[in-house]
Copies of this chain bind each other. A is one copy, B any other.
Amino acid sequence: LSAGQRLRVTDPEGEQVADLVAFARGDSGEWLSSGRTFDYQSSIRLTTGDRLWSNRSRVLLVIEDDTVGLHDFLLAPCSAEMFRLLYGHDRPARGCFGNLAAALAPHGIAPDAIPTAFNCFMNVPVGPDGKVEVLPPISRAGDHILFRAETDLLIGLTACSAPNSNNGRLKPVAWEVLPARDTAAAGAEAASA
């Protein structure tokens, strides 16, 4: 994703989570950080207008639009180990973590460098005692979230394969890269001039 471009992540069928990670393109030491984002946004619930920050305190992404308004940035991507520990699976799937690790490896991102993802559409309420639950997403078919890149980025995105996170049914996610808004406007002006 180049600076200014936008990424629209859509839940085509509803109730499906998509884990997203981001790194500065060409410098994978800079990564999307839940801890910095919670601090600078003074919230663990991010939606339209909110900024997502890197470990180096730069804004990597801005949420331009969000038809759901309920996402998670607390929980690490599901993984084979997680499926063994929480679900008791003997032959666990590789999960979001395995998908992200495989997709990012050719770009020089080691598995150990994958941080907590921004989990689009994931419904993780936090109780007054701090307890967290994983409930079905409230996203319906066609709901989406739109991110704008504030700098050149490497993005990892995967449909989530944790049964509890997706109301028991694993479904696809859709994504589309939209051009930078200013560039498109400038282009249209140039064409009409």
Distance (Å) between the CB of A109 and the closest chain B CB?
12
> CB within 8 A of A131: which of B33, B42, B110, B133?
B42
Taking the full assembly, how many copies of this chain does it contain?
A: 2
Stretch in contact with the other chain, from A1-9, A78-86, A179-187:
A78-86
> CB within 8 A of A44: which of B55, B74, B76?
B74
Distance (Å) between the CB of A40 and the closest chain B CB?
6
Tally A residues with Cβ within 8 Å of B. 40
In the complex, chain B residues whose CB is within 8 Å of the CB of A38: 74-76, 132
Beta-carbon contact of A44 and B130 below 8 Å: yes
Residues of A within 8 A of B (CB): 29-31, 33-36, 38-40, 42-45, 55-57, 74-77, 79, 81-82, 85-86, 110, 112-117, 126, 128-133
